[in-house]
C-alpha cells in the first residue's frame, strides 16, 4: 500500500493500488485505507472498504473491530454493538473488543451493559490505563439508576483503578470531586492527603483541601491550608510562579481566603 | 487467559528446530498420580487462611528450593507439608476435575493459596520436550529444580512482585497447556517440582478474596533422553538503555532462550564492581539498577546463563557500553530527535550516519523517538529491524524515549519493548522525565481516549499536575501528531492534530513549554516563537501570537529556495524566565520515511503554501540535534548528507523583576533591558524619576514607580526613542520588550505637564523580532510646538 503520498488527500487514497484482490494483503490494505478515510471524516468510504474486506474475509477480526469503532463514530451505536459482538465472539478475551462493546452500549443508553463490558475490558487488559476506569465512571454517571447506587459504584470503580494503577491524580481528582459532591468531606480530605503525601503539587492540593474544609465549615483549618497553599506558591522559583496558571491560582486562593469568616482568621 | 508474548513463540520455534524429528512423548506424571506433597495453609479450627511468610520469613524464597527437606537438604524450615497425596487435589467445584485428595477449604472470603511439591524420577537419561497440561484454579507458578519454568495466568514478572499481584483475568476453569519458559528438562535421577496455586479475584489482593474453589490437576509428558545439545545462548537484541533517571537505569536485552539476567557495572570498564541479578528466567531481560550518583558515567556488562545446560553469554565490559545517570542541575545535554524513521533501510541509515558524522565523538544523551518507529505496523520483528538492528550502537549508550505513532499499531508490542515511567501517569503511553535542567513531557496523540475529554481523559489531568510540579528551566514536549503542519498531513483537517492543538498544547503553553517536537508529516517544518494559537491556521495572527517572527538564528537562516544562508540570522529567540513567552514547534517526520508531497499536492523542496506559523518548510530527510546548556537551547536540522539545513536558538533571560521587592537597582536594570534607553534622570531628555512608591498623578493605582519625561521634537534625541513632527503629527518610536505586559506601560502626552492624556493618541505595535516590538505612538497637535510624553510603568496592573 502506498501510504506515503498525501495520506490525507482523498484523491491519493482513492488511487491506492490494492494488491491482488481477495488475499489477506488485500483485506489488510482495505482496512488501512479505511482508517485513513476515517481520520479524514470520510466515513462512508471507510465503511465501504471495511465491508469489502469482510466480504473477502468474513472472519477477519480486526475488520469487525474497525467497523465497530467506525460505526460508533458515525452515530450508529446499535450496528457498532453488533460488529463488536462479532469481534468478541472471534476474540473473546480481547480487551479492545470489550471496550468497543462498552462504548457502543453506552451510546445506546444501555449503561448496565456498558458497565459490564468495561469491567470485562479492565479484567482482560494486558496494559491497563486510567482512561478505562474514567470511561466506566462516565458510563455509570449517565445511567438513570439510583444516585446513591451510582455514586457507590463509581467510587468502587475509581478505587479499583487506584488499587490497580496506583495513587494517580487522574483517578483521585475524580474521586475527590465526587466525594465533595456527595458531601463526604472526610473521604475527600483523606484522598487529598494521599496526594499530598505523594508529593503532588502542594499549591493545588492545599487549595482544594482548604475548599473542602470550608465546605465542612472548618474555617480555621481552611484558612491554615490556604496559607500553606500560598507558602507553597511563594516557594516556587520566580520563573515558575509568574506563569499565568499560578497567578490565577494565587488570585483564587486569596479570594477563597477572603471568604473565610473574619472571626475565624488568626489575628495578624 | 494471558496470551504468551510473541518472543516466547520465537524462542520455542528456534529450539524446536534443533530437536530430533522422531520425538515420542511419554507420560511422566499422570493426573491421578500419587506422591504429591501439599501445604494448604488454614489455621486451627477456624479455617482462617494465612500467609506462610507470616510464620516463616523466607518461605517465599525457599519452599520451591530443591535443596529443601524433600531432596535431603535443610533449606526449608517453614510449615510442614502433608505428604504423599494423590492427584488431582482440590476443594470446591472445579468443572472437569474430580479430586482424589480433598483439600481443606478456608471460609469463603478468606485466603486461598496452596503449595504443591513432588519428586519426579528422570530415569537414566532424563526427559526433554516437556509438556505440562494443567488445570490450576485460579492461577499458578511452576518451578522445576528451583527454577521458574512456567506460569498459568500470571506473567513471569509477577513472581518478582508476588506480594503486589492484585488482578488477573477471570476464571474460566479450562485446562491449559502451559507455555514453558525456555527449554526445561528433567535431569536423569531425581527432580523437584513445585507449584503454587493462588486463588483470587480482580480488584483485591491476590491472596484474599472469594476462595470458592482451588485445585491442581496436572499431566506431564516428555520425550525420553538422551537430551540433545542446545545451540549456544545468544543476545539477539540490545543491550539498550531505558528509563534513565538521576538514581537508576533500566538495561534491557533479549536472548533467544530463557536465561538469568545480570548487569555488572562500575566507574571503570575494567572494574565493574557492582551488580544486579534477576534470577527468574527470561528471554526478555529487564534489569533495573538503582543507587546511582546523578551525572555520573557508568560502564556496564550484561550476562545471562541458561541453567539447563549452563550456557552463558556476556556483552559489554568495554568502553562502548556505558550510560550516564541523569544530571539534576545544569549540564550540557545533547538530544537527538526524529520521527517516522522506522523503515530499516538505507534512507534511515543515511540519516543516522549523517548525524553520527556531524556530532563525531561527542556523546548523545537522549534519543527522542517521535513515533512511527517501526514500519509498517510496529510488530516486534519490525521493531527489531527498524530500531534495534539499525541504531544498536547508539541504543547501548543513549537512553531512548519513544512516543507512539499511528504506525505503531501493535501497542502491546510497543509496551513490551519499552520500559517507561508510569508512577504518576499509570501508563507508558504518556509520561515525563527530567534530565539536567530540562523537563521532558511525552504525550500520546495516537490513542483517542487520551485526549478526548468525552472519554474521560486522564492524560490532561496528569499533564496539568505534571507541569505544575516541575521547576526545571526548560520544558520540551513531544508527541507524534504535531499541532501545526501542512506537510503530508494537514493539521486543519485531521482530528489527531486538532485535538492536540486545542487541548494539550494550550495546557503546555500555559505552563511555559519551550519546544514541541512531532513527526507524522514526512517533512521538516519549524515555527517561529509563537504563543496562543489553538485554532484553524487561518486564525493565526502574527501580531498577537507571534512572540518573535525572526528566524531565531545568530548565524544564518533559510532562504526562499530552501538553502541555509550564513549572515541572515535575526538573532536568537529570547524568552524571559516565567510568564508565557511562546514556544517553537518542530515537525521532524523525515527520519527515514519516504518523502511525501505537501498538503497542497506540491512536491517542491520548499512548501509553497506552508502553515502560517511555520518559518522553515523543507521536503528533505534528516533529524534534529538539540543542545541545551544553561539558559541556551540550540537546535539544528541535519539532513541525510550531514548539512545543516536549519539553525535556531532560544535564549532565556534573567528572572523577571520581583513584584513589590522595592529593589530600585533591579527595577532600573529591568527598565534598561525593556526599553533599551536609559531615560531616568536624564536631563537631556527632561525626565524625572519620582522615586519608590510615588504616585504623582494621584490615580490611586498601586504604582511601584512612576516617571515621565518630556521630549522636544525639534531637537535631536536618544537613538532608540525618536520623536518626529510631521504636519502637526508628533510620534514616538520606542522598542518595547515583547515580554512586558502591554498594561505595564502606559504612554501619555501633555502640552503643559499638568494635564495628561491617553485619548487622542494612536498606538501601533510592530511584530516581534528578537524579543522586541517597535511601538509607534502618534499625536495630532498641529498648534503645539512642544509636546511632553510620559511613560507610566507599573507591575501587576
CB B648 within 8 A of CB B639: no
CB–CB contact A7 B428 (8 Å): no
CA distance B32 to B17: 33
Nearest to B589 by CA among B368, B404, B336, B370: B370
- Tell me the pLDDT of chain B averaged across its residues: 79
The confidence score (pLDDT) of residue B759 equals: 78
**CA distance linking residue B727 with residue B622, whole number of Å:** 56
Kindly report, residue by residue over B766-792, the tens digit of the pLDDT. Answer: 766 655 566 677 777 666 555 666 655
Residue to test with chain A: of B578, B601, B655, most A Cβ within 10 A: B578
Residue B603 near residue B597, CB atoms below 8 Å: yes
> B458 and A135 in contact by Cβ < 8 A?
no
- In chain A, whose CA is at the least distance from the CA of B424? A168
List B475's β-bridge partners, or say none: B439
pLDDT over 70 at B133, yes or no:
yes
Which residues, other chains included, contact B592 with Cβ-Cβ below 8 Å and sequence gap of 6+?
B338, B340, B341, B342, B343, B345, B347, B348, B349, B351, B386, B621
| pLDDT band, residue A44 (cuts 50/70/90) | very high
- Listed by number, the residues of chain A in 49-78 with a beta carbon closer than 8 Å to a beta carbon of chain B are none
- What are the residue boundaries of the structural domains of chain B, listed by start? 19-224, 235-324, 333-652, 664-793
State the nearest Cα–Cα gap between A69 and chain B, in angstroms.
11
pLDDT at B95: 79
Question: Is A163 in CB contact (< 8 Å) with chain B?
Answer: yes
Instruction: Tell whether A262 is within 8 A of chain B (Cβ).
Output: no
A52-106 pLDDT tens trace: 999 888 888 989 999 999 999 899 999 999 999 999 998 888 889 999 999 999 9
Cell numbers found for residue B293 = 550518583
How confident is the model over B141-156, as a mean pLDDT?
80
Q: Name the grid cell of B294.
A: 546523578
Which 8-state DSSP code applies to residue B538? Answer: G
Residue B326: alpha-carbon gap to chain centroid? 14
Q: Least CB-CB distance to A6: which of B423, B578, B597? A: B597
- Decide if B230 contacts B311 (C-beta within 8 A): yes
What is the average per-residue pLDDT within B729-748?
A: 59
CA angle B336, B342, B345 (to 5 degrees): 105
User: Hey, is the C-beta of A172 within 8 angstroms of any chain B C-beta?
Assistant: no
Closest residue in B to A93 (Cα) is B1
ipTM of the complex: 0.89
Give the residue-averaged pLDDT of B520-526.
Answer: 96
Mean pLDDT of B79-102: 88
* Mutation for A interface: B203, B204, B460, B579, most A CBs within 10 A: B203
Q: Pick the residue from chain B with its C-alpha nearest to A119.
A: B202
- Cβ distance A5 to B412 less than 8 Å, yes or no, reads no
Is a pLDDT exceeding 80 seen at residue B111?
A: no
Q: What is the pLDDT of residues A8-40, one digit of tens each?
A: 444 455 555 554 555 667 888 888 888 888 877
Closest CA in chain B for residue A40: B494
Mean pLDDT check: name the lowest of A114-128, B348-362, B668-682, B731-745: B668-682
User: In the prediction, which pLDDT does A92 show?
Assistant: 83
B458 and A164 within 8 Å at the Cβ level: the answer is no
Query: Which pLDDT value is given to residue B255?
Result: 93
SS3 B513: coil
Q: Please tell me if residue A6 touches chain B, with a CB cutoff of 8 Å.
A: yes
pLDDT confidence band for B155 (50 / 70 / 90): low
Share of chain A above pLDDT 90, in %: 56
Chain A residue nearest residue B462, CA to CA: A170
Nearest CA in chain B to A73: B448
CATH 2.60.40.420 is the classification of domain B235-324: no
Tell how far CA B680 is from the center of its chain: 50
Q: How far is A41 from chain B (nearest CA, A)?
A: 8
Taking the CA of residue B214 and the nearest CA in chain A, the distance in Å comes to: 20
Angstrom distances, CA of residue A196 to CA of A27, A192, B81, B514: 52, 6, 46, 28
CB contact at 8 A, B796 and B709: no
Query: Which has the closest alpha carbon to B139: B167, B118, B163, B111?
Result: B167
Closest chain A residue to B653 measured between Cα atoms?
A239
Min Cα distance B795 → chain A (Å) is: 12
Per DSSP, B56 falls in state S
Only one residue has cell 550502537, namely B393
Chain B residues with beta carbon closer than 8 angstroms to that of A130: 425-427, 458, 462
Q: Which residues in chain B touch residue A124, judged by CB atoms under 8 angstroms apart?
A: 169
Options 3.50.50.60, 3.30.70.1380, 3.40.50.720, 3.60.21.10; CATH for B333-652 is 3.60.21.10
Residue B613 has pLDDT above 50, yes or no: yes
pLDDT, residue B735, reads 56
d(CA A85, CA A102): 10
Q: Is the pLDDT reported for residue B244 higher than 70?
A: yes
Among B126-140, B153-167, B245-259, B716-730, name the one with the lowest average pLDDT.
Answer: B716-730
Q: Are B475 and B439 in contact (CB under 8 A)?
A: yes
pLDDT at residue B224, as a whole number: 93
Contact B461 A169 (CB under 8 A): yes
CB atoms within 10 A of CB B581: 24
Asked if A126 reaches chain B (Cβ–Cβ under 8 Å), the answer is yes
Whether A27 has its CB under 8 Å from any CB of chain B: the answer is no
B19-224 to CATH, choices 3.40.1350, 1.10.3470, 2.60.120, 1.10.540:
2.60.120
How crowded is the C-beta side of B267, counted as CA atoms within 13 Å?
A: 5
Chain A residues closer than 8 Å to B3 by CB: 126
User: In this predicted model, what pLDDT tens digit does every residue of B532-565 receive, in sequence order?
Assistant: 999 999 999 988 898 888 899 988 999 999 999 9
For residue B151, list chain A residues with Cβ-Cβ distance below 8 A.
none
User: Cβ contact (<8 Å) for A169 and B428?
Assistant: no
Given an 8 Å threshold on Cβ–Cβ distance, is A129 in contact with B455?
Answer: no
Q: CA B541 from chain center: how many Å?
A: 33
Give the closest of A160, A201, A242 to B656, CB-based: A242
- Residues in Cβ contact with A73 at an 8 Å cutoff, skipping those fewer than 6 apart: A38, A43
Nearby residues of B645 by Cβ (< 8 Å), 6 or more positions away = B524, B558, B562, B564, B616, B618, B620, B622, B637, B638, B639
pLDDT digits (tens, 9 = 90+) for B472-494: 999 999 999 999 999 999 999 88
Amino acid at each position: 500500500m502506498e501510504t506515503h503520498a498525501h495520506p490525507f488527500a482523498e484523491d491519493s487514497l482513492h488511487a491506492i493500488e490494492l494488491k491482488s484482490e481477495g488475499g489477506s494483503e488485500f483485506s489488510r490494505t482495505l482496512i488501512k485505507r479505511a482508517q485513513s478515510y476515517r481520520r479524514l471524516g470520510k466515513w462512508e468510504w471507510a465503511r465501504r472498504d471495511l465491508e469489502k474486506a469482510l466480504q473477502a474475509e468474513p472472519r477477519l477480526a480486526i475488520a469487525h473491530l474497525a467497523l465497530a469503532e467506525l460505526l460508533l463514530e458515525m452515530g450508529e451505536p446499535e450496528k457498532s454493538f453488533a460488529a463488536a459482538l462479532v469481534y468478541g465472539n472471534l476474540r473473546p478475551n480481547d480487551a479492545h473488543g470489550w471496550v468497543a462493546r462498552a462504548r457502543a452500549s453506552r451510546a445506546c443508553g444501555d449503561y448496565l451493559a456498558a458497565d459490564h463490558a468495561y469491567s470485562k475490558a479492565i479484567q482482560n487488559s494486558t496494559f491497563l490505563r486510567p482512561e478505562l476506569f474514567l470511561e466506566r465512571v462516565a458510563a455509570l454517571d449517565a445511567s438513570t439508576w439510583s444516585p446513591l447506587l451510582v455514586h457507590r459504584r463509581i467510587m468502587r470503580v475509581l478505587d479499583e483503578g487506584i488499587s490497580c494503577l496506583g495513587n494517580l491524580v487522574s483517578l483521585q481528582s475524580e474521586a475527590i470531586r465526587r466525594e465533595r459532591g456527595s458531601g463526604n468531606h472526610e473521604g475527600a480530605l483523606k484522598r487529598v492527603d494521599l496526594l499530598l503525601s505523594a508529593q503532588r503539587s502542594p499549591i493545588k492540593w492545599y487549595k482544594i483541601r482548604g475548599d473542602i474544609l470550608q465546605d465542612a465549615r472548618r474555617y480555621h483549618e481552611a484558612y491554615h491550608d490556604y496559607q500553606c497553599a500560598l507558602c507553597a506558591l511563594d516557594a516556587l522559583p520566580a520563573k515558575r510562579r509568574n506563569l499565568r496558571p499560578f497567578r490565577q491560582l494565587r488570585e483564587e486562593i486569596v479570594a477563597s481566603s477572603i471568604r473565610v469568616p473574619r472571626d475565624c482568621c488568626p489575628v495578624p | 487467559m494471558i496470551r504468551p508474548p510473541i518472543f516466547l513463540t520465537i524462542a520455542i520455534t528456534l529450539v524446536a528446530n534443533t530437536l530430533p524429528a522422531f520425538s515420542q512423548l511419554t507420560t511422566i506424571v499422570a493426573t491421578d498420580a500419587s506422591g504429591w506433597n501439599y501445604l494448604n495453609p488454614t489455621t486451627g479450627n477456624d479455617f482462617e487462611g494465612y500467609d506462610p511468610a507470616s510464620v516463616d520469613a523466607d518461605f517465599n524464597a525457599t519452599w520451591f528450593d530443591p535443596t529443601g527437606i524433600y531432596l535431603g537438604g535443610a533449606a526449608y524450615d517453614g510449615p510442614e507439608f502433608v505428604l504423599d497425596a494423590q492427584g488431582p487435589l482440590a476443594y470446591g467445584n472445579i468443572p472437569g476435575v474430580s479430586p482424589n485428595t480433598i483439600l481443606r477449604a478456608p471460609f469463603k472470603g478468606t485466603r486461598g493459596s496452596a503449595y504443591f511439591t513432588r519428586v519426579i524420577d528422570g530415569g537414566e537419561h532424563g526427559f526433554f520436550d516437556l509438556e505440562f497440561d494443567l488445570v490450576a484454579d485460579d492461577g499458578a507458578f511452576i518451578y522445576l529444580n528451583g527454577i521458574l519454568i512456567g506460569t498459568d495466568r500470571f506473567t513471569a514478572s509477577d513472581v518478582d512482585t508476588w506480594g503486589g499481584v492484585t488482578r488477573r483475568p477471570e476464571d474460566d476453569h479450562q485446562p491449559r497447556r502451559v507455555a514453558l519458559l525456555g527449554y526445561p528438562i528433567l535431569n536423569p535421577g531425581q527432580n523437584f517440582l513445585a507449584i503454587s496455586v493462588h486463588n483470587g479475584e480482580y480488584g483485591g489482593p491476590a491472596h484474599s478474596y472469594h476462595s470458592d474453589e482451588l485445585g491442581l490437576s496436572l499431566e506431564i509428558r516428555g520425550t525420553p533422553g538422551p537430551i540433545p545439545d542446545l545451540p549456544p545462548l545468544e543476545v539477539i537484541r540490545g543491550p539498550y538503555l531505558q528509563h534513565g533517571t538521576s538514581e537508576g537505569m533500566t538495561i534491557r536485552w533479549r536472548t533467544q532462550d530463557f536465561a538469568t539476567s545480570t548487569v555488572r557495572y562500575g566507574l571503570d570498564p575494567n572494574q565493574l564492581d557492582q551488580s544486579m541479578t534477576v534470577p527468574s528466567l527470561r528471554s526478555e531481560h529487564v534489569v533495573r539498577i538503582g543507587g546511582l550518583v546523578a551525572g555520573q558515567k557508568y560502564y556496564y556488562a550484561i550476562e545471562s546463563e541458561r541453567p539447563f545446560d549452563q550456557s552463558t553469554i556476556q556483552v559489554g565490559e568495554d568502553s562502548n557500553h556505558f550510560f550516564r545517570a541523569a544530571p539534576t542541575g545544569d549540564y550540557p545535554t545533547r538530544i537527538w530527535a526524529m520521527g517516522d524513521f522506522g523503515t530499516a533501510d538505507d534512507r534511515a541509515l543515511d540519516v543516522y550516519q549523517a548525524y553520527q558524522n556531524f556530532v563525531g565523538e561527542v556523546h548523545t544523551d537522549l534519543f527522542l523517538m517521535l513515533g512511527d518507529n517501526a514500519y509498517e505496523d510496529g510488530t516486534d520483528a519490525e521493531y527489531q529491524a527498524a530500531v534495534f538492528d539499525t541504531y544498536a550502537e547508539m541504543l547501548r549508550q543513549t537512553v531512548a524515549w519513544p512516543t507512539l505513532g499511528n504506525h505503531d499499531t501493535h501497542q502491546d508490542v510497543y509496551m513490551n519493548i519499552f520500559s517507561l515511567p508510569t508512577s504518576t501517569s499509570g501508563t507508558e503511553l504518556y509520561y515525563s522525565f527530567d534530565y539536567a535542567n530540562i523537563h521532558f513531557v511525552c504525550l500520546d496523540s495516537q490513542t483517542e481516549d487520551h485526549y478526548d475529554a468525552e472519554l474521560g481523559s486522564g492524560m490532561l489531568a496528569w499533564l496539568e499536575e505534571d507541569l505544575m510540579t516541575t521547576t526545571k528551566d526548560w520544558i520540551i514536549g513531544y508527541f507524534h501528531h504535531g499541532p501545526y503542519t501542512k506537510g503530508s498531513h494537514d493539521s486543519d483537517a485531521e482530528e489527531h492534530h486538532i485535538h492536540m492543538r486545542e487541548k494539550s498544547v494550550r495546557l503546555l503553553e500555559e505552563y511555559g513549554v519551550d519546544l514541541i517536537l512531532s513527526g507524522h508529516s514526512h517533512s521538516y517544518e519549524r515555527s517561529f516563537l509563537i504563543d496562543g494559537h489553538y485554532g484553524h491556521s487561518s486564525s493565526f495572527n502574527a501580531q498577537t501570537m507571534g512572540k518573535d517572527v525572526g528566524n531565531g538564528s545568530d548565524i544564518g537562516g533559510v532562504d526562499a529556495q530552501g538553502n541555509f544562508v550564513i549572515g541572515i540570522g535575526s538573532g536568537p529567540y529570547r524568552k524571559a524566565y516565567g510568564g508565557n513567552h511562546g514556544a517553537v514547534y518542530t515537525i521532524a517526520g523525515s527520519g527515514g520515511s519516504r518523502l511525501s508531497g505537501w498538503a497542497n499536492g506540491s512536491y517542491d523542496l520548499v512548501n509553497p503554501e506552508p502553515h502560517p506559523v511555520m518559518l522553515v518548510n523543507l521536503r528533505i530527510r534528516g533529524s534534529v540535534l538539540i543542545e541545551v546548556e544553561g539558559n541556551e537551547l540550540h537546535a539544528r536540522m541535519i539532513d541525510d548528507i550531514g548539512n545543516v539545513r536549519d539553525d535556531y536558538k532560544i535564549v532565556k533571560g534573567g528572572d523577571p523583576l520581583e513584584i513589590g521587592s522595592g529593589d530600585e537597582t533591579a527595577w532600573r536594570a529591568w527598565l534598561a533591558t525593556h526599553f533599551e534607553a536609559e531615560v531616568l534622570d536624564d536631563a537631556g531628555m527632561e525626565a524625572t524619576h519620582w522615586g519608590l512608591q510615588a504616585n504623582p498623578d494621584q490615580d490611586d493605582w498601586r504604582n511601584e514607580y512612576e516617571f515621565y519625561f518630556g521630549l522636544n521634537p525639534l531637537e535631536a534625541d536618544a537613538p532608540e526613542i525618536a520623536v518626529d513632527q510631521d504636519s502637526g503629527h508628533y510620534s514616538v518610536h520606542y522598542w518595547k520588550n515583547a515580554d512586558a505586559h502591554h498594561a505595564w506601560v502606559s504612554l501619555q502626552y501633555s502640552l503643559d505637564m499638568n494635564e495628561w492624556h491617553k485619548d487622542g493618541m494612536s498606538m501601533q505595535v510592530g511584530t516581534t523580532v528578537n524579543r522586541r516590538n517597535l511601538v509607534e505612538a502618534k499625536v495630532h497637535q498641529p498648534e503645539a510646538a512642544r509636546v511632553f510624553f510620559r511613560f507610566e510603568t507599573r507591575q501587576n496592573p
